[in-house]
Amino acid sequence: MRTPICEICLKSGILCPGCQEKLTEGKITQLDVDISILLYNIVNQYNIPKDFQFVKAHDIDDIVILVVGRNDVGNVVGRGGKILKIVQKELHKKIRVVQDTQDVREIAEDLLYPARIVGVNIIYLPEGETKRIRISPEDANRLPMTVEKAKDIINTLTGEEINITVD
């Protein structure tokens, strides 16, 4: 298991000087530290495979977004959602898990699951380009959050201006 803090800090729950410096400089947040320790305790307590990477956490309104390594979403969610349920219970917030990527489509697919993405288009405007994520009307009621909240989260994660439409 790879996290923003070292294994010694994970085991002890106390930050070493190197990890404390990362926290002080703002390279990691207290939420990153808390979730790293929580995930470490969960995988050890329940004997869950540790073959995943936790990169970063974002607390946006009432949702915590866990950014994990490429192709690690399933490992962090756990069989039957076991790990995710424990983390949600501990944090008392909704949790969504997304891959560490800058690909808007992959982030949107992870974030908006079980709704399906119909397409991602680049729209060229005089003031610059923007991306539009299209969701089919049949899947509109399957969205796990509002369209505006999803738009804000994707904008935060990618740093790009996007729009989400249901059509």
Q: What is the pLDDT of residue 32?
A: 94
Rounded Cα distance, 76 and 111, in Å: 14
* The model's pTM: 0.88
Residue 14 has pLDDT above 80, yes or no: yes
Query: H or E segment at 12?
Result: helix 7-12
Rounded Cα distance, 143 and 127, in Å: 30
Say what percent of the chain tops pLDDT 90: 60
Give me 58's structure tokens.
């974002």
Q: Which domains does the chain have, with CATH numbers?
A: 113-167 (3.30.300.20)
Strand order in the sheet with 128-135: 117-125, 128-135, 162-166
Q: What is the pLDDT of residue 1?
A: 86
Residue given tokens 């690909």 in the structure block: 103
Instruction: Give, in order, the Cα–Cα distances in Å from 52 to each of 2, 80, 104, 147, 148.
Output: 7, 17, 22, 29, 30
